[in-house]
Structure 1
């Protein structure tokens, strides 16, 4: 097996195949257009025994094609007894040393594209159906089948982005935008991929020890200013009855905003005959800092009447459950970054 690399002074690109193999990595096969409504090389039925390929450019197997005016292609008469399905193609030919638009007849189904990298390589522009005994292609029987290809993602300097280009991607300061022709519309922001961390639990200034070998895992993902996090705890021990509320840390390096409290849900299932419950949690950045879920609360009231005052109480290590071995506490939610 021979190796090749180039172009260098001693190993020039000396064959069409070498060029094709290199150049096709620069751009995919297809018509240079940004949306289906673009007329670039979009085949038009003439209502006669011809079809028209409008002006436009394309890449075909690493070769550039440009047509600067309408090209008319003849439609052969369908002498068969059933409708014939044809293709209009762009054909790159190594032997002919050119790319051309061609009309390719088929049968009851469309003809197969020829794609030999060292010979002839075709890509479709349109499918045309010709009635039996006819050579006329109507607009209703012409189906656009162009492959479209465009520019890679464009970098941009904040405040100086170029005019919007329909269906063009633009990247700016970790954010991805899509052009709609009038402006650049945000579609995504870089973040932190799926990751795990070990949450730290506390009650006031005391770190809670849930027991050696306990399951204590946090999983998170950040997209832009939004962080999704799930925490699951299964103790192997029984910590003391602390009077301060249970708190747990957020993912490291991703503090919550101080502008408001972010909400979470939690569920608890006892493996020790104490039932289960669900409640809500929230960050308390102005009181307990920006790196933790500061409160886990459950709803309650002073009685069962509609006139009784509703309330919510903090979840503690011993109230309303004695949280211990094999119990399961899960917290799930999202929060905004500082």
Structure 2
């Protein structure tokens, strides 16, 4: 059969293979539980020749499994001279047409899982070690190996959240939360992926041209209300000596918070024998708007003694450097969104 689709009238899901092929896309293999403290289908050693599988539910290759009472499985005796590592598994058997809990023996290493759509499909519940010459499985020799599966993230409406479920994900208005059993804890907020833009440079209200073919790019990403930003400038020309401080635009549509200043670091390296410097960039949203880094400042003082007053000055196109071709100016930092 080249193509199949269904279920439709006249094209039903007619075989277990068709059902498995469809249903296993609805949920991953695993025990229906959200955290290790849940005992659903957990395995315990008896200290004798059996292990016990607790009640619980699971998906196995698209098939539903439900164990309503504790199921005891016998561990075969280990006649070898070394410890044997076994598995307790859930096995979907396409011939027997059932899913069952099974004790599967191994060797020095645990047995491999069989996962064949047409015959057997196995998932692990526990690893058990049986000592040399023994058939006893102490509780301490059982290691939990359950795979978990559940609903994935559930949608929610603000003000109408369901009670918190431990390790459950919840999505609300573009925000992702995880439950701790008592409350929903914020995990992430939809942002802006790694992007670039062309910064606009100003001296006061005058646009600065750094020359045709200059390297002038900004790279940014937004995570929740925080924007990470790097700006790189390598001029090919020499703009006029403006008296107003240099400023540069933030990424479009991502204005800075109005309530406070955000800080950046900047570094400058001259390719014209004028040295290098580093300083602080900052937003001035209350006086210079919310769409740019309004000042690039460098430290100075009135002298060289500890009693001299420290200060900082604005970076200009001509002070303290004549910024031109072969120079490099880099700004890096982050800011809070409005």
Secondary structure (helix, strand or coil) at the match of 1:89 reads strand
The worse-fitting range, judged by mean Cα deviation, of 171-180 and 109-118 is 109-118
Q: Output one character per residue of 1:35-60: Cα deviation in whole Å (capped at 9) or x when no partner.
A: 11211101011111111000000000
Alignment match, 1:84: 84
> How many residues align structurally?
338
Alignment match, 2:235: 235
Q: Which runs of 5+ in 1 are unaligned?
A: none
Q: Does 1:31 align with 2:31?
A: yes
**Structure 1: how far apart are the matches of 2:208 and 2:108?**
75
Alignment match, 1:275: 275
Aligned-residue RMSD, C-alpha: 1.0
**Structure 1: how far apart are the matches of 2:178 and 2:155?**
12
**Post-superposition offset of 1:224:** 1.4
**Post-superposition offset of 1:162:** 0.8
The worse-fitting range, judged by mean Cα deviation, of 99-108 and 298-307 is 99-108
Alignment match, 1:51: 51
**Post-superposition offset of 1:82:** 2.0
Alignment match, 1:3: 3
**Structure 2: how far apart are the matches of 1:107 and 1:261?**
65
**Post-superposition offset of 1:226:** 0.8
Secondary structure (helix, strand or coil) at the match of 2:64 reads strand
**Post-superposition offset of 1:115:** 1.3
Alignment match, 2:247: 247
Secondary structure (helix, strand or coil) at the match of 1:216 reads strand
The worse-fitting range, judged by mean Cα deviation, of 124-133 and 257-266 is 124-133
**Structure 2: how far apart are the matches of 1:112 and 1:139?**
23
**Post-superposition offset of 1:8:** 1.0
Alignment match, 2:120: 120
**Structure 2: how far apart are the matches of 1:234 and 1:108?**
63
Alignment match, 1:62: 62
Secondary structure (helix, strand or coil) at the match of 1:17 reads helix
Query: TM-score, structure 1 length as denominator?
Result: 0.98
Q: Which runs of 5+ in 2 are unaligned?
A: none
Secondary structure (helix, strand or coil) at the match of 1:22 reads helix
Q: Does 1:313 align with 2:305?
A: no
Alignment match, 2:220: 220
**Structure 1: how far apart are the matches of 2:214 and 2:4?**
57
**Structure 1: how far apart are the matches of 2:43 and 2:279?**
62
Alignment match, 1:164: 164
**Structure 2: how far apart are the matches of 1:304 and 1:80?**
82
**Post-superposition offset of 1:99:** 0.5
Q: Output one character per residue of 1:127-168: Cα deviation in whole Å (capped at 9) or x when no partner.
A: 111122221100111111111111110101111111111111
Q: Does 1:325 align with 2:325?
A: yes
Secondary structure (helix, strand or coil) at the match of 2:222 reads strand
Secondary structure (helix, strand or coil) at the match of 1:76 reads coil
